Amino acid sequence: MMLLTTPRRIGELGRHLMKTGRGSNEQVIIRDDLCRDVPHEAVLALRVLAAQSRRNHRVQRDVVHIVISPKRALSPAELGYVLRVIQEEFDIPTDAARHVTEHRKGRRAPHFHVVYAMTDPVTGKALRFRRSRERDDMLARRLEIELGEGLSPSVRVDRIAEMLRERGLEDLAERAAAGPVAEPGIRPGKDEMQQAARLEADVETIDDRVLLAWRRCGGDLQRFRAELDASGFSLCAGHTLVDGRPIVRLIDRESLMTTSLTRHVNRVSKGAGQAAKLHEIDVGRAFGALPAEKQARAALRLDGPQRSADAVLGEFDRLIREMEADGERDQADRAKAAKERTANRLTAEERTRLRQRQALVRERYRRRDRIRRARVNRFFIAAGVFANPKVRKLAFYLLAAGAMASGAGLLGALAVAGVAVASLPSYQGARCLRAAHDEAAAQDRIKMAAELQAESRDFFRQRAIAMKLADQRACQRAMQEKRERAARLRAMKEQARVRAGRQDREGLRIRTRAAEEQLARVMRGHRPGRSGQGDGGQQRNRSAAARPRGRGMER
């Protein structure tokens, strides 16, 4: 059984409790028989519990969230007993409001999420959950014994037995003390598990990728960095300092899950039986200056759509190669066509830019159409004004009088007035103008479609050029990184060669000095394996060594 007690603010807890679907819970059941004094709807129940806690302004958490994950399915009576034991351990009032949710996922036994308010409903005082980690372990081992589940390995076997004795449970303490001991540093920490749940990341898959990269590098940290990059990880500088240098953090580019590189490698390698035993100081010195974690995560969020598209295209390439290797030519051709369609599919940002450019073209033609319509409407209004015979007659008289006043004769004034009246707006002229406008609008629609096509062609041409330039820059960066890695390897080999040369010279110097000293002892009569007794023996050795000098020594 696994128990996890976490005081927290409600945040996204309601969404987590009710989440179902692929990769999540297959079924979510609100345990109406166990919920107490709260609405059955999860989000509303959390708000009620948080409101109770917020009455005490000194309480910084809204609720306490308890996860109960047994090894087998629990009956209602057994689940009720588990809840009573938890309430007794943490001094939660027996009549405290709570909300219970049951999750069913795959073949594993159903697990439960129990939520209480962080304050006592009567006194308003905050509940205490100090040292909840070891108390959770103690409760889990106690319930495993009482429910007959079998003891799980634990890193606190002695401490659990001691805590059970403090509570007067001697029999349970003896059985817990004989339980299996788990080696520390193999399982991910509580913070990592909570982060993985929040980001919906697969911790086991990430661990396998990190372990594979570590095995491939053979313990070489410089090569390890390249293997991590190829496995989909990025490195950044954390906020914590060790020896004046920020720790190295590992970011999974797919899920953006972030962990300590040193602790992660040590954990997964220890679990595989090949403990790496990396030290943070050595890792920081090997990798040098790294971007800050906040900047690295922001850059990965911006590049996320492009990375996901590249990942899809990469899967298409692998599928095509496998189909071609199996001789499935038709399926490979269809996969190539699907890859081409996927590669040409625009991202959300690109679709927005293309729509904006097309919207500018359409707006210009709409504005021209509105101006034409305004002209036609004005002509119809004027035609309506001058359609009355009395108005036209009055206009004729006024125009004729004005012409005569200007010095024209009667016939000239009448001719001018007749021509002017004939040119006044009429419904027939307005209809002709509207027909001309409709014909011009039809031509404009044709022109607009042509301009939209031209705009789209320009957009895709610029997009292709930008993608080509981006690929070239990526290739240049890859080549530059490859050259830098090669330069670092050459420098490391040169340093190793120089170091080996120094060691060889130092060894030769030591051996030469030893040979000279031995020769000097021989010359003085101190041969290895013989030792004179007193001054007399030394004098005899010197005289014996001095006699054969000459021809024998030269030979």
17 against 391, higher pLDDT: 17
- Average pLDDT over every residue of 247-265: 88
pLDDT in tens, 106-133: 888 899 999 999 999 888 899 999 888 8
Condensed to tens digits (0 to 9), the pLDDT of residues 290-311 reads 888 888 888 887 666 666 667 7
- Reading the block at residue 51, the tokens are 């409101």
- What is the 8-class DSSP label of residue 5? E
Structure tokens at 550: 């000459």
The reported pLDDT for the residue numbered 89 is: 93
CB 144 within 8 A of CB 7: no
The full 3-state SS of 349-363, as one line of letters, equals HHHHHHHHHHHHHHH
User: What pLDDT digit, counting tens, does each position of 166-225 carry?
Assistant: 999 999 999 998 888 876 667 777 678 778 877 777 888 888 888 888 888 888 888 888
User: Who wins on pLDDT, 420 or 437?
Assistant: 437
Angle, vertex CA 340, rays to CA 339 and CA 345, nearest 5: 95
pLDDT at residue 50, as a whole number: 93
- Select from 260, 231, 250 the least CA-distant residue to 296: 250
- Say if residue 337 is exposed, middle or buried (CB neighbours under 10 Å; 0-12, 13-18, 19+): exposed
Distance (Å, whole) CA 244 – CA 69: 42
Q: How many residues does the chain have?
A: 555
**Higher-confidence residue: 305 or 236?**
236
Predicted pLDDT of residue 549: 45
The half-sphere exposure of 212 on its side-chain side, counting CA atoms within 13 A, is: 11
Could you state, in order of their start, the residue ranges of all structural domains in the chain? 2-129, 190-293, 306-345, 350-386+425-486
Q: Please say whether the dihedral angle defined by the alpha carbons of residues 246, 248, 251 and 257, taken in this order, is positive or negative.
A: negative
CA distances from 414 to 38, 392, 408 (A): 96, 14, 10
Higher pLDDT, 36 or 346: 36
Q: Who wins on pLDDT, 416 or 4?
A: 4
CB of 284 closer than 8 Å to CB of 237: no
Rounded Cα–Cα distance for residues 451 and 69 (Å): 63
Q: Does 427 score more than 80 pLDDT?
A: no
The pLDDT score that the predictor gives to residue 88 is 93
**Residue 514 and residue 527: Cα distance in Å, rounded?**
14
Asked whether residue 155 carries a pLDDT value surpassing 70, the answer given is: yes
Q: By mean pLDDT, which of 142-146, 155-159, 240-244, 400-404 is the weakest?
A: 400-404
pTM (global) more than 0.75: no
Q: What is the mean pLDDT of the chain?
A: 81
Q: What are φ and ψ of residue 121, in 5° steps?
A: -65, -20
Percent of the chain with pLDDT over 70: 83
The single residue listed with the structure tokens 């080509």 is 468
Q: Which residues contact 192 (CB under 8 A, 6 or more apart)?
A: 203, 257, 259
Q: Is the pLDDT of residue 286 over 70?
A: yes
State residue 388's pLDDT score: 63
Tell me how far the alpha carbon of residue 178 is from its chain's centroid: 42
Question: How many Cα atoms are found within 13 Å in the side-chain-facing hemisphere of 331?
Answer: 12
Q: Average the pLDDT over 337-349 and give the result.
A: 71
What is each CA distance from 437 to 22, 214, 366, 375, 452, in whole angstroms?
A: 57, 74, 13, 9, 22
- What share of the chain in percent tops pLDDT 90? 19
When mean pLDDT is compared across 34-38, 233-237, 274-278, 533-537, the lowest value belongs to: 533-537
Range from 4-13, 63-72, 94-103, 341-350 carrying the lowest mean pLDDT:
341-350
Dist. CA 494–CA 328, nearest whole Å: 51
Tally Cβ neighbours within 10 Å of residue 312: 14
CB of 154 closer than 8 Å to CB of 137: yes
Burial profile 49-63: b = 16 or more Cβ within 10 angstroms, e = fewer: bbebbeebeebebbb
- In whole angstroms, what is the distance from residue 274 CA to residue 265 CA? 10
Distance CA 171, CA 179 (A): 13
**Cα angle 466-467-470, degrees, rounded to a multiple of 5:** 85
Convert the pLDDT of each residue in 480-497 to its tens digit.
888 887 888 888 888 888
